[in-house]
Amino acid sequence: MKISIVWMATGLSALWLSTGQAETVVVVNPGAAVPTKDQITDVYLGKDQSMAPFDLPESAAIRADFYKKATGRDLAQVKATWSRLMFSGKAQPPKEVADAAAVKKAIAADPKAIGYIDKSAVDSSVKVALTLD
């Protein structure tokens, strides 16, 4: 009985830690040069077009978290920024893919690709360029 309570407490705190400390990481192709934080900001705001950025769906909480930490802007501001670039023919917004697995697949296939995923999803197919917290 005592043991099960301890286990439950451990389980709960593990759960608490995993949700409370979810870390977003920016990932690139293992063979690519690591971009600076400024460059990552510029890529995701359309100023730097030397990389191919990927987005996760708007329904994923990680997207808002990533933009807030990487660019200091909320999703509505980011969308207004991209609509300026898009409807003046200057740049196309990041391609949207379904989940972390799709981000990793796209990055493995393209040395210029860049994306963001939860730290727990990192594996050898990608390289961590920046940890956002």
Partner 1 sequence: MKCNFKSVALATALVFSASQASAATQLGEYVTFSGFGTLGLTQTSDDRVQFARDRQIPGATNSIDYNVDSNLGAQLTAAPTKWLSGTVQMLAMHRNVANISTEIEWAFVKAEPIKGLSIRAGRMALPMFAISDFRNVGYANTWVRPPDEVYGLALLRRLEGADATYRLPIGSTSLSLSVLGGKSSFYSSTTNLLTHLDKVKGANLQWESDWVTVRVGRVKGIVDLSASTTGLKEDPYTFSGIGAMVDHNNIVAQAEYVTRRSENNPTRIDANGWYVLGGYRFNAVLPYVSYASTRPVDSTPIFHYSGKQTTLAAGVRWDAFKSAAIKFQIQRVDAHDTTGLSFVLQGTTVGRTTTYVPVTSPVNVASLNLDFVF
Q: Least distance in Å: CB of 27 to partner 1? A: 20
Which CB atom, from 23 or from 58, has the smaller least distance to partner 1? Answer: 58
11 lies in the site for partner 1, by CB under 8 A: no
Interface with partner 1, residue 4, by CB under 8 A: no
Q: Which helix (H) or strand (E) holds 31?
A: none
* Nearest C-alpha neighbor of 57 from the set 92, 118, 98, 117: 98
Q: Is 47 in the site for partner 1 (CB under 8 A)?
A: yes
The residue (of 11 and 84) whose beta carbon lies closer to partner 1 is: 84
Residue 105 within binding range of partner 1, rule CB under 8 A: no
